[in-house]
Amino acid sequence: MNKNIAALICGILFGTGLTISQMSNPDKVLAFLDITGNWDLSLMLVMLGAVATLTTAQYFILKRSKPVCDSHFHLPKTGNLIDSRLILGAMIFGIGWGLVGFCPGSALAALSDGKRDPFIFTIALGIGMMLFSRFDNKK
């Protein structure tokens, strides 16, 4: 199977899952993040289901000699440590998610709703990525 076709199918499946589970709905996400208010626990069940599915699938996938669409697996090196860049990136991601209720995947899935907020978020995301690429000193 062509890599691009496989990526497109995976992206459509992922976006459909985000939409069905309402993870592309910022109000639902913000209600999940509001643990001191009217906490909506339903998205935790979605995340637990995703982790269980991945864990099961990964067990069988890694038993293969190579992936379906590549010559070898691209797995993280075992010596990678948690560093300040990872922590800062995770903090920025979490703050952005908590402020607007979108992460990159859910914002792209929400673009099909035709609402203004996901478009603004996606434009800001693109600008942030371009700025990072321009000023990143670890290239």
The pLDDT of residue 139? 57
DSSP 11: H
The pLDDT value recorded for residue 81 is 79
DSSP 87: H
Q: Kindly report, residue by residue over 80-117, the tens digit of the pLDDT.
A: 778 888 899 899 888 988 888 898 888 988 888 888 99
Whole-angstrom distance, CA of residue 23 vs CA of residue 43: 7
Residues 62 and 73 sit within 8 Å (Cβ to Cβ): yes
pLDDT of 79 over the 80 cut: no
pLDDT in tens, 2-53: 888 988 999 999 889 888 888 888 988 899 888 898 888 888 998 899 999 9
Judge if pTM exceeds 0.85.
Answer: no
CB 26 within 8 A of CB 117: yes
In sequence order, the 6+-apart residues with CB closer than 8 A to the CB of 72 are: 66
Of residues 19, 125, 8, 115, the one with CA closest to residue 69: 8
Question: Is-contact 39 29, C-beta < 8 A?
Answer: no
- pLDDT (mean) for 52-80: 89
pLDDT band at 60; cut points 50, 70, 90: very high
Question: Around Cβ 108, how many Cβ atoms within 10 Å?
Answer: 19
User: The tokens of 133 are what?
Assistant: 């690429």
Per-residue confidence at 57, pLDDT binned at 50, 70, 90? very high
